[in-house]
Amino acid sequence: MTNSVNTNYGAMVALQNLNKTNMQLQTTQNRINTGLQVANAKDNGGIYAIAQRMRSDVSAYGVVQDSLNRGISTTDVTLAAGEAISDLLIEMKEKALAAGDTSLDTPSRVALNEDFKALRDQIATIVENAEFNGLNLIDGSATNGFIALANADGSKTITVGTENLSLSGTIVTLTSTASFGTATAASDIASQIATSLENVNSALARLGTKSKALEIHQTFVTKLSDALESGIGNLVDADMAKESAKLQSLQVKQQLGIQALSIANSAPQSVLSFFR
């Protein structure tokens, strides 16, 4: 090997190795700082693209979960109102049946009729107030019901249909002015209430089925979102134990590289000994 003061090949090699070690050390420190093995496209373009697409799906499923939660809350309010209406119809039927007793005196029938009308008006109040987030599924104002998102691209939905439980409707056939003054009228109204009660219970069954479907799908979407997040972690998360060990190794290697460069830089000084 030629001894030269112009060219120090050993120093160049030592510097190259030290620079390589410094780059590896910087990479390891970035992984420790961010907790990510693939933090940007420069680290691994293919993995980064896959992870970003999966992050987009996770974000979309968050929107789906919000939509499903609103649907569940809307149907819960609707079911609560429907169940209250069903209970009121049972009480109204009881009043009408009692008033249909021909042996009952007129003052008693009038008192029963007053109770009946109070319960009737309460149905209208419940229907009017069975609203969540501006949507009422039982007053006839909603035409399309509630449409909840079911997948990440919005191509699939779950629809909760409307059930008009207003008085004088197709489900609650009892009119908003229904009352009785005679035993015969009371018996006729009791028959109408029985039909309305069956209709309401059928409507509640349909709403209950949709509510259950929303809850099942909400659970599925939550699990799917969790699985995607776990998958992203498997792709991009750094193994902190491994990176910690690697950091210590590279720090030692860096110190040795500095010493090697120092030794290589001092090599040309040996040329002076030839001129003594």
Express each pLDDT in 225-266 by its tens digit. 999 999 999 999 888 888 888 888 888 888 988 888 888 888
Q: What is the pLDDT of residue 244?
A: 87
- Phi and psi torsions of 160, nearest 5°: -105, 115
pLDDT in tens, 100-158: 999 899 999 999 999 999 999 999 999 999 999 999 999 989 888 999 999 999 899 99
The residue among 183, 166, 164 whose CA lies nearest residue 174 is 166
Check whether 274 has a pLDDT greater than 70: no
- Phi and psi torsions of 158, nearest 5°: -120, 125
| CB-based contacts of 141, cutoff 8 Å, min separation 6 | none
pTM of the model: 0.78
